[in-house]
Chains A and B, each alone.
Chain A
């Protein structure tokens, strides 16, 4: 068996075992956690025991990143209310900086939201062991923020908290060139991958609904207007997932900020359209708290803003190409085959 097929086999088993954990422990986890601080500890332990929380740390030519991101994508598909993406990302960043990685769930502070001694929008700051942050543009630090965080949530009811940095305890710190830029970019990569997972959930949900919901004596899937909306939803979701996948491969091979920018810009845009179409197709039922559609759509609305909205990343792409001159566009697009 080649390395590649072996890797695909490992990935398949890992994703199936995640599905099983979700079935046993997390059927209604997103609902139970919605808008509450902390995260379901027994679900987290199950993930930890299955070896799913310590992945993707290798730096060079890592197959690890691909597997880790496949897991993050699947967890997002299941709308799992745990800091899995954050922990995987924080471990990666700490490994890059050569800081010893603590056990347990971790998180990181979005660098652009650190100012006036406060870090805002920090996922699960008060309930994870430690948080990765940048104390200077080229310094990565690990802090314990459990006593220094105040509560808050994103649109999806996921904890996004504010850390009073003066009150947090610095556990370790190290120089890492461009630390802030790296955290921003890798955070964007992870959110792009999560959006890909959540969009495939919305597509699946929408297809089932369109075939089940009866109006005018037939499933709404029989209406051409609905068919075309769903076709557009599928196309946007496919584009978003292709862009995210492309970035994961690029980052596994080299440092490729442009690929990340493309991924976050494209998935963010796709997410907006996917949510709008899905809600249209679900009608009033999808607009209720009782229905489960919003666990995916509210995450998409949140994630497209986090670690830079699509507009910020689009502008970065535009500036990069413009700076290289008009004729650099084609060379850039084809630089890696």
Chain B
């Protein structure tokens, strides 16, 4: 029977020093007025902030120095990431590059590409987008239709990607494309290509989301040239690449801390002497958060040891997104907007409104809750 043990990790002393250092940096930034805590750092992108993080060595932290990395442990990186999220810092510009694309290129990219791109990501000046979804391809990722046709020295890509987060800021997009076979061939013939956003034939159109923000995009590729060595993991290995990539991103603190700043503001509004139900509702959320953090750091420890806790990571994402979605639902019961006049400029009011509107996406992006539960069920031996 599968047993899920979330063993403790010992944060190295270096991580504790680093935490203090990051807090100092964030206090300075807040004092300068660079940012106000936002729900889900997932909304705020600030390229100059990302560059300052890069300059301080907070990006590409675990990568080899020869690629601009800092050779620090996964746990040190974990500390930096969670401090940024807890502060509600504007991390979205570099987020995908640092969390997902960079590590993939490091592992599976061609040498020339690694030398060209990784130091740029680590410096906080090179951003990535993920081009998996298409108009007719959502959960069923293997059905992608975007095609890459071999030509002299590379490929020509034609097709359309949607929901491509931050493509309008990105320098590259990693697109999942069909290099062989037909959509019916499913997992066979798929390749991940790193496409330079400056290439002729790419067009980015904003898609405005539910709360009126421009975060995702439609990206159209019309006969876009991509050099041969710009694949991740080689031609035809796209499926293996995306599945391992998604497993990577499932258990981080960004999967349960999106609405953390709202929880903090709710504590502030309620003050030092909560009544019984306020204390219990908020205390319940703290118990969930502390537990999720334990599970998530434990997985960081497993990844550090070279294990691949795929089902554990899926469990954390399922619990985590449910938790971050519950925060606005619970705080609005304790601190209703209406008598307060709603949107009166208080930090709480703004966060409460944004969180309610943003919450649905937590269990959609990066694989829906239903898809995730299917994966957990597979891990449990039920399918």
Residues of B within 8 A of A329 (CB): 263-264, 267, 286
| In the complex, A232 has a CB within 8 A of chain B | yes
| Inter-chain contact A315/B283, CB cutoff 8 Å | yes
| In the complex, B271 has a CB within 8 A of chain A | yes
| Inter-chain contact A318/B282, CB cutoff 8 Å | yes
Interface-located stretch among B8-16, B182-190, B213-221, B359-367: B8-16
| Inter-chain contact B381/A211, CB cutoff 8 Å | yes
Q: How far is the CA of A242 from the CA of B320 in the complex (A)?
A: 14
| In the complex, B289 has a CB within 8 A of chain A | yes
| Inter-chain contact B374/A319, CB cutoff 8 Å | no
| Inter-chain contact A262/B282, CB cutoff 8 Å | no
Interface-located stretch among B153-161, B169-177, B292-300, B337-345: B292-300
- For residue A74, give the distance in angstroms from its CB to the closest CB of chain B: 12
- For residue B251, give the distance in angstroms from its CB to the closest CB of chain A: 12
Q: How far is the CA of A235 from the CA of B3 in the complex (A)?
A: 11
Considering the complex, give the chain B residue whose CB is closest to the CB of A337. Answer: B11
| Inter-chain contact A235/B382, CB cutoff 8 Å | no
Q: Tell which of B5, B272, B280, B282 touches A311, judged by Cβ atoms closer than 8 Å.
A: B280
Q: How far is the CA of A238 from the CA of B317 in the complex (A)?
A: 13
> With contacts A230-B377, A334-B19 known, is A243 near B294, CB below 8 A?
yes
| Inter-chain contact B319/A239, CB cutoff 8 Å | yes
| In the complex, B6 has a CB within 8 A of chain A | yes
| Inter-chain contact B264/A326, CB cutoff 8 Å | yes
Residues of A within 8 A of B281 (CB): 314, 318
- For residue A334, give the distance in angstroms from its CB to the closest CB of chain B: 7
Q: How far is the CA of A266 from the CA of B279 in the complex (A)?
A: 15
Q: How far is the CA of A327 from the CA of B19 in the complex (A)?
A: 16
Q: Which of B237-265 contact A (CB under 8 A)?
A: 263-265
Produce 1/0 per residue, A216-232, CB < 8 A to B.
Answer: 00000110101110111
**A/B pair count, beta carbons within 8 Å:** 171
- For residue A300, give the distance in angstroms from its CB to the closest CB of chain B: 17
Produce 1/0 per residue, B274-293, CB < 8 A to A.
Answer: 10101111111011111111
Considering the complex, give the chain B residue whose CB is closest to the CB of A325. Answer: B272
| Inter-chain contact A245/B286, CB cutoff 8 Å | no
Q: How far is the CA of A210 from the CA of B19 in the complex (A)?
A: 46
- For residue A227, give the distance in angstroms from its CB to the closest CB of chain B: 4
| In the complex, B307 has a CB within 8 A of chain A | no
> With contacts A239-B291, A243-B287 known, is A231 near B376, CB below 8 A?
yes
> With contacts A239-B295, A323-B272 known, is A231 near B6, CB below 8 A?
no
| In the complex, A48 has a CB within 8 A of chain B | no
| Inter-chain contact A230/B280, CB cutoff 8 Å | no
| Inter-chain contact B4/A319, CB cutoff 8 Å | no
| In the complex, B29 has a CB within 8 A of chain A | no
| Inter-chain contact A321/B283, CB cutoff 8 Å | yes
| In the complex, A105 has a CB within 8 A of chain B | no
- For residue B82, give the distance in angstroms from its CB to the closest CB of chain A: 8
| Inter-chain contact B279/A318, CB cutoff 8 Å | yes
Considering the complex, give the chain A residue whose CB is closest to the CB of B1. Answer: A204
Label chain A's interface by main secondary structure.
helix
> With contacts A231-B318, A231-B380 known, is A249 near B8, CB below 8 A?
yes
Q: How far is the CA of A37 from the CA of B287 in the complex (A)?
A: 36
Q: How far is the CA of A321 from the CA of B294 in the complex (A)?
A: 18
- For residue A21, give the distance in angstroms from its CB to the closest CB of chain B: 20
Considering the complex, give the chain A residue whose CB is closest to the CB of B378. Answer: A227
Q: Which of A239-278 contact B (CB under 8 A)?
A: 239, 241-243, 245-246, 249, 261-262, 265-266, 269
Q: How far is the CA of A232 from the CA of B382 in the complex (A)?
A: 13
| Inter-chain contact B318/A318, CB cutoff 8 Å | no
| Inter-chain contact B283/A265, CB cutoff 8 Å | yes
Q: Which of A264-310 contact B (CB under 8 A)?
A: 265-266, 269, 310
Produce 1/0 per residue, A153-171, CB < 8 A to B.
Answer: 0000000000000000000
| Inter-chain contact B294/A246, CB cutoff 8 Å | yes
Q: Which of A89-114 contact B (CB under 8 A)?
A: none
List 15 additional contacts besides A207-B381, A227-B382, A249-B8; criterion CB under 8 Å: A227-B377, A230-B377, A237-B4, A243-B290, A245-B294, A246-B294, A313-B283, A314-B287, A317-B283, A317-B284, A322-B270, A323-B272, A323-B273, A326-B267, A334-B19
A-B contact list, 19 entries, CB within 8 Å? A207-B380, A224-B374, A230-B382, A232-B373, A234-B315, A242-B6, A245-B5, A265-B283, A265-B284, A266-B290, A266-B291, A269-B287, A314-B280, A314-B287, A317-B279, A319-B283, A322-B272, A325-B272, A334-B19
What 8 pairs across the A-B complex have the smallest Cβ distances? Answer: A318-B283, A318-B279, A317-B283, A227-B377, A337-B11, A314-B283, A326-B268, A326-B267
